[in-house]
Amino acid sequence: MRTTVVSIIVISLLVALAFSPMICVESQGQAPAKIVKISDTGMDVNEDYLYEFLAINFTLNVTNAGKYIVSGTLQYGLIKVTQNSTTKDLGTGVQTILLMFPSVPIFKSGMDGQFNVSYYLRYNGISFNNSDGNYLTSAYNHKEFNDPSNFPVTPPGFDPKVYREPALGRFVLKNDVMTVWFYYGTKRLVWFYTKDNRSMTKYYCEFIALDGYADRTGRFEPINAQYHGQFGEGTLTAATSSNGTSKIYGKFVTASITISEVPIWDSQRIKILQLANVTMTVMLTAVDRTINYQANQYYTIHGGTQVSVNFGIDLQSSLAMNGLAIEQDLWSESNKSYYHDFKLENYNYTQITRGSKDSNTYPYIPGSTEPQIIDFLAKNTQEHKVEGYYYWVNRARVDGVSSYDIAYYKYIPNEKHLRLYLTVTTGGTSITSVQTDPLGIGIYEDGCPCVQHYVKPKPPEQPNFLITILGWVTAIILVILPLYMDFRRSQKRLHELEEEFGEDL
């Protein structure tokens, strides 16, 4: 009997072992690694502003060095999008391993929003505690991911064209929405809204000079500028135009000028310290593209069309400075019966009125990630609409290294101009070359043409006095009537009881 019982116990254990799941490594001791954090990011490998991969970054605290494999499936709801795996030899300590999902299946899925990653992690082919799980990514737009067919469609009417007018010394870049005059003699841009030819509001941007500084204790400030180079003192040596198609901009046209031997003076304008070559490229584009879907939508073109301005600055040899600013003026003129104010998106959302007397210098929002925007507000219209805008976001490179920036602005009361100092700064002690992609200028299609004359809004209508009295009377009746009906019913019932029981009641 005892032998039979022992045999049954042994057989039961063997069966349990045969059908039980794989025993985790942790049951035999400490887990070889622990997942500390999981994060995700889009990876732009070739710097075309589109993601080649959606990367899931696993941060591990590794106890046992060895070969680790992470595998996963990318899903949108119940729809499988793609899958992949990564193998990597990890040492002990805090280590990372990336699970890379290619861009093409994500683009072809057509899905926007958050994706789910079903993953499992193996150490030398063996699972361990908490090595399997699910992770929800940040929100993405499928158009952010690269694909051979991922070209934005240029809407009808927004197909840009470019031609040159030598007699006026300018390029003309235009589509059915906006016209841009790029004067290469005065280095001035004029852009205005042209839909239905009903708007004659013109917005001006004139590039004045380069300013630099060599103060090692802080960032660029106009008051500390030690070096000054005025564009007008240089020589125009090239003026060209072209057109093309890109995965980020769709169809575009460009006009480019090169100003050679721009003298960079010292602060007293006594001695020329350096000669610079400056190339300025203006691009008109139409696009329906959203980059950085979760955060700021830097590349969403308002109104369907936008101008961008790029600078290439070659000092030819190093100049002892670590901050360089592009000085420029912005203003608007109009044949309409109203003018424009500036609205700046800084910490205080400051608005500068045309009649302002404040000529102090103020900083924009510092940093290289958030766009800094100026809106042109049509004054004395019914809704005080925004007609045009200007933005700056720093993607500049100083001697091939990404810069950090802080921009400054001041108002010029006598000229009704807004002066901007858009800066790039390096942590080094000298600058030889700067390549920027800083400026965007555009028109809000739905903001023009605005109401040309101010229409005073009607005050809220006051209720009629008679209607108010009737309302109170109705309310009183609705309260008293139920009480009165209850009283009459109780009196009737009392009368019936008196007739039935007489005086005994």
Q: What is the pLDDT of residues 321-378, one digit of tens each?
A: 888 999 999 988 766 666 778 888 666 777 888 888 989 888 876 554 566 778 888 7
pLDDT by residue for the chain (505 residues), tens digit each?
Answer: 444 443 434 334 433 434 344 434 444 557 899 999 999 999 988 877 789 999 999 999 999 999 999 999 999 988 999 999 999 999 999 999 999 999 999 999 989 889 999 999 999 888 888 889 999 999 888 888 988 888 777 777 778 999 999 999 999 999 887 889 999 988 899 988 776 545 567 889 999 999 998 875 667 888 888 899 999 899 999 999 999 887 777 788 999 999 999 999 988 889 999 999 999 999 888 754 444 433 334 444 444 567 888 899 999 899 998 889 999 999 887 666 667 788 886 667 778 888 889 898 888 765 545 667 788 887 765 566 777 778 777 778 889 888 877 788 899 999 889 999 988 888 888 899 998 876 777 666 543 333 333 333 344 455 555 556 766 667 677 767 777 777 777 777 667 666 666 655 5
Residues 96 and 189 in one domain: no
Query: Residue 69: inside a domain, yes or no?
Result: yes
Last residue of a domain, one of 115, 144, 173: 144
Counting every residue written for the chain, the total comes to: 505
Instruction: Name the pairing type of β-strands 408-412 and 361-363.
Output: antiparallel
338 and 230 in one domain? yes
CATH at residue 37: 2.60.40.10
171: which strand partners?
Answer: 164, 182
Q: What is the mean pLDDT of the chain?
A: 78
Q: Three-state DSSP class for 490?
A: helix
Q: Do 190 and 115 fall into the same domain?
A: no
Question: Quick check: helix, strand or coil at residue 250?
Answer: strand
Same-domain pairing of 166 and 282: yes
Q: What is the CATH number of the domain that holds 413?
A: 2.70.98
> Any idea which residue has 């980059």 for tokens?
291
Q: How many CA atoms lie within 13 A of 395 on its CB side?
A: 16
Q: Are residues 311 and 428 in the same domain?
A: yes
Residue that finishes a domain, picked among 144, 170, 185: 144
* Residues linked to residue 161 through DSSP beta bridges, in sequence order: 174
Helix (H) or strand (E) holding 362: strand 361-363
100 domain residue, yes or no? yes
Does one domain contain both 345 and 423?
yes
Residue where a domain stops, chosen among 447, 468, 489 = 447
Residues 91, 222, single domain; the answer is no
Predicted confidence at residue 498, as pLDDT, reads 66
Q: Are residues 223 and 358 in the same domain?
A: yes
**Structure-token match 């490179």, residue found:** 397
Q: The domain containing residue 132 runs over which residues? A: 19-144
pLDDT tens by residue, 178-212: 889 999 988 899 988 776 545 567 889 999 999 99
CA distance 303 to 339: 21
Q: Is residue 481 part of a domain?
A: no
pLDDT confidence of residue 453: 34
Number of domains in the chain: 2
Give dist(CA 295, CA 197) in Å, integer: 36
